[in-house]
Structure 1
Amino acid sequence: MTAEAGTTMRLAEHHSTSAHPGERGERLGLAHRDEIRSTVALYRAFYRELGIPVEQETSIAAACHAALAGWYPVLAEEIGAVAAAAGLEPAALMAVTARTEILAIANPQREGECSTAVLLPPDRGGATAAPETIQTWDWHESLVPAALLWEYPSVQGLRVKTFTEFGAPAKIGVNDAGLGVHFNILHHRADHGRGGVPVHAVARRILDEARTVGEAVAIARSAEVSASTVITVVTSEPGAVSIEICPAGVAEVHAGQPGGVPAAADAGSGAAVLLHTNHFLDPGLAAGEHTPDASTTYARLEHLRARAGELAGQDAVRRAQAMCGPAGDAAPICFQPDRALPPQEQWTTLLTVSLDLGGYGLEYAAGSPAVMARGAERF
C-alpha cells in the first residue's frame, strides 16, 4: 500500500476522565493492553536489529525513568500505572517512552522523521487569527500497526488532545488553553547513552502545563536530556517558536530566522512562516549536527520554503494539497515505502496533522498530505 493510498496504521481513540495519574494510567493500560504490549515488543526487536544490546537498552530505559521521576514525578507515576495494567515492568514500557534516547546510541538512520510548517497570520488592525499548522509524521510502518488519539485532563487543570504511539506519553497535540506542539527528531554529536529526561516527556509536560510560548520554553530548558529533538510550540495569541533541544543546550528559532521565511509576495497573505524538518537551524547547535548527508531533511525544508506562499489562508485539506504542490504524492515530504528494503529501512508518511488551536482539535489523515488533500478527519 503506497502513501497515496493511505497507510495500514490503525488509529484508536481513548478519552480519559480522571486527572489522577495513577487512575488515568491504569485505565489506559487496561483498555489498550494488547496494543501497548505489542508496541513494546516491536520496539525491543527493532533495537536488536539495529545492533543495540538488550543490556544497553535496559540501562538507558532505567536511567530515563529515574530522570523522569525526578523531573516530572506525576508522569512517572502514570507510566508505572500504565505498565502495571498492561502486565509490564516500567522499564519495559520505557522502551517506547524513551525510544528517542535509546535510538540515540545507534548510528543515525539515513532518513529522518517529519516535516512541519507553521504560518503566523499578520496583524490586521489589531485583529489576528490563530496560527495555521501542518506536519507529516514519517516512520517505520512495521513498528506502528496501531497508534493512539488520546484526550485527558492534566493535573494542572488543562484538557489535552494528543496523537502518540502506544507507550509514549505524547507527541503532537493541543490543549484547551490554545497551545499546541509539533514534534521532529534531531541528531547531535552530544547525544549519549547515559539517559536523561525523555524528549516525549518534555512535549507532554508542555501540553499539560503551558499556556504561553514563554512557559513552554521554560519547561524545555528545565529538562536535562540525553537525546535531541525539536518541539515547535504554537499558541492562539498568536505565537510560535521551534525549541531545539539537545544535551549541548536549548535554542529558540522564530519566524524570520533560518527556519522562517516570509510568505511569497503573490500569496497576498503577509504571513510569516516557521518551518522545520530534521536538522538544526540554530547556528550554534548546528555546528554539532549529526544527521547523515543522505537524509532528505534539507530537500524537504527547501520544498517547504518553495511552497510557503501557498500554505497561508487555507483550511487543513487545502493546506495539505498546497504542501505537496504540483508533485502530489511524489513530493519529497511524502514518504512511500520501498518494499525491496528490510522493514526497518522502509519509511512511510504515516500521518498528516494540523492543529486547530482555537477549536481545541486535531485535523488529520492516516497517510501523506496527498491523502489528506482528499479529506481530513477530526479529533
Structure 2
Amino acid sequence: MNDDAVFPRVEIEGPPRERGLQYGRAVPERIAASVALYQGEMLRRGVSVPRQRELAARFVPVIGAFGADYLDEMQGIADGAGVPLEDIVLINARTEMMYGSHDAPEVQSKLVEGCTGAIILPEATRAGRLLHAHNWDWRAECADTSIVLCIRRDNAPDMLTFVEAGGLARHGFNSAGLALTGNFLQSDRDFKAPGAPLGLVRRKMLEAPNMAAALKVLWAQPRACSNNLMLSHSDGEAIDLECAPDEIFWIAPEQGLLVHANHFVSPAARVKLRDTGLATFPDSLYRDRRVRSLLAPHVGHIAREHVTAALFDTFGAPDAVLRSPKPAVFDAISATVATIIMEPASGTMQVARKPYEDPRFSEYRL
C-alpha cells in the first residue's frame, strides 16, 4: 500500500477462523464504526439493538448452510474485534436486514443505494488490458468505515476486495483474473422469500477459479432481493447479470463496453417484472447513458483517464454519476463513497476516497 493510501489495506491468510481473527484485530475501530453505522440505521427504522441481534441470529443457520467457512471467518472477525457475532452478521447481511425486516416493511420503498459501473474490454483500451470500474454510492460515513482486504488462500485464488470493515467482500478481483462489482436494483419480487446475503454470494463468486464457476455460484443460489452484478475476466470477457431473487437476466458488451447503473435494462426483465427502483433513482436513466457516451468516442484507446472522466461526470448534480453529498431517507447523507478502477491483469486496484472532494487515487496491489 502506498504511504498516502486512503483506506487501510488488511492482508489475511490461513484457515477461516484464523483469517477472521487477523482481520478483526487489524481494524477493530473501523469494524466498531461499521457496527455503529448499521445499528443506527436499524434504530432509525424502529428496530432496537436487542431485536437487531435476534434478527441477525436468524441468518446464522442460513450463512452456515451457504458456507460453514464463512460463519467461522465471521466468528473470528467478531472475536478479533471484540464484538458479538450478530454484529458481524449485521454488516454482512445489512441489505437484507435493513430492507427485509418484518419490523419495518415500509422501508422497502426507501432504498437509497446507487452505483454506476463500467467494464472496458481489452480491444477497447489503449493498453490492451481490461478495465473494470465502479462508483460506489452509499452512506457518506462509509468513507471512514471501509478497507481494502487482501485474502490469501491455499485452495482458491487470492483476492483483493474493497469492503466495509467487518464484511467478507464487496467489489474486487482475484488472482485468476475475475473481477466483480455490484449495483443496486429493486423489483416487485424482492423480500418474498429468504436467501443468502448478497455480500456472501459475491465472496463465493470471487473465490471461483474461472468465469463459468463464478456463474454457477450465482445460478445455484436464490437471493432475497434484486441486485446487479458486473462480472469480467482479464482475458477479455464480461457480462452484466441483472438478478431478481428467483431469476437472472444478462446483458453482453457492445463495442467493447458494458455500462450499468440502477435500473433493469434487459428487454426480458422489463417485460417480466416491475422495476420499483426508478421511482427512487430516475437519474439512473441518464447516468447509464452519460458514462457510455463519454467512453464511446475513445473506444480503441480508452485509458484510465477516460474512465475517470466518465465516472467523475457531474451532469445533474447532486444526482450525477459522481454523487455529491445530499440528504437521504432516515436522516442519512448519500454520496459517492469511492471510485474504484481495477485492472485484474496487472493485479492493481485504484481507489479514490470521496472523489467529489479529492480526485486523487491510491493504488493497491494483489
**TM class, shorter-chain normalised?**
0.7 to 0.9
Asked whether the equivalents of residues 124 and 257 of structure 2 are also in contact (C-alpha less than 8 Å), the reply is: no
| Pairs aligned (count) | 349
**Letter of the structure 1 residue corresponding to residue 7 of structure 2:** L
CA distance, structure 1, for counterparts of residue 294 and residue 346 of structure 2: 26
Counterpart for residue 90 of structure 2:
95
Q: Equivalent residue for 2:171?
A: 172
The two structures have a TM-score, normalised by structure 1, of 0.83
CA shift digits 1:156-177 (9 cap, x unpaired): 3311111000121111111111
SS at match of 1:209: coil
* Greater mean deviation of Cα atoms: 302-311 or 63-72: 302-311
CA distance in 2, matches of 1:277, 1:322: 13
Counterpart of 1:240?
238
Q: Is the 8 A contact 1:61 1:95 kept in 2?
A: yes
Q: How far did residue 53 of structure 1 move?
A: 5.6
Q: 1:294 to 1:41 in 2, by over 3 A?
A: closer
Is contact 1:356–1:362 with CA below 8 Å preserved after alignment?
Answer: yes
- C-alpha contact 1:243 1:250 (8 A) present in aligned 2: yes
- Corresponding residue of 1:122: 123
Q: Secondary structure at the match of 1:91?
A: helix
Identify which of 253, 256, 278 aligns with 1:255.
253
Per the alignment, residue 205 of structure 1 pairs with 204
Q: Distance in 2 between matches of 1:123 and 1:135?
A: 17
Counterpart of 2:32 in structure 1 is 37
What are the residue-to-residue correspondences of 1:151-230 with 2, within 5 Å? 151-192=150-191, 195-212=194-211, 214-230=212-228
C-alpha contact (below 8 Å) 1:242/1:252 kept by paired residues: yes
CA separation of 1:134/1:307 partners in 2, compared to 1, >3 Å: closer, same or farther?
A: same
Q: Is the 8 A contact 2:142 2:164 kept in 1?
A: no
Say whether the 8 Å CA contact 2:90–2:97 is kept in structure 1: yes
Contact 2:56–2:86 under 8 Å retained in 1: yes
Distance (Å, rounded) in 1 between the aligned partners of 2:214 and 2:189:
23
Which residue is equivalent to 1:12?
Answer: 8
Note closer, same or farther for the CA distance 1:39–1:330 as it changes in structure 2 (3 Å cut): closer
Q: 1:1-379 residue pairs with structure 2 within 5 A?
A: 11-16=7-12, 18-52=13-47, 57-105=52-100, 106-109=107-110, 111-122=112-123, 129-192=128-191, 195-212=194-211, 214-256=212-254, 262=255, 272-286=256-270, 287-295=273-281, 296-310=283-297, 312=299, 313-324=301-312, 332-338=320-326, 344-368=331-355, 371-372=358-359, 375-379=360-364
1:109-147, CA deviations, whole angstroms, 9 ceiling, x for partnerless residues? Answer: 3643210011124399xxx93322221011111355221
Query: CA–CA distance in 1 between the matches of 2:180 and 2:225?
Result: 18
SS at match of 1:107: helix
**Distance in 1 between residues matched to 2:208 and 2:311, nearest whole Å:** 31
Whether the 8 Å contact between 1:138 and 1:347 is mirrored in structure 2 is yes
Cα 1:245–1:342 change in 2 (3 A) is closer
Offset of 1:27 from its aligned partner?
A: 1.1
Inter-partner Cα distance in structure 2 for 1:140 and 1:102 = 16
Q: Sort the Cα spacing of 1:279 and 1:155 in 2 relative to 1 into closer, same or farther, 3 A.
A: farther
Alpha-carbon separation, structure 1, partners of 2:361 and 2:116 = 18
Q: Tell me which moved more, 247-256 or 68-77.
A: 247-256
Q: Any gaps of 5 or more consecutive residues in structure 2?
A: 101-106
Looking at structure 1, the residues matched to 247 and 113 of structure 2 have their Cα atoms a distance apart, in angstroms, of 21
Distance 1:160 1:371 in 2: 27
Identity %: 19
The alpha-carbon deviation at position 366 of structure 1 amounts to 0.9
- Give the whole-Å Cα distance in 2 for the aligned partners of 1:311 and 1:204: 33
| 2:324 partner SS | coil
Structure 1's unaligned 5+ residue stretches are 1-8, 257-261, 263-271
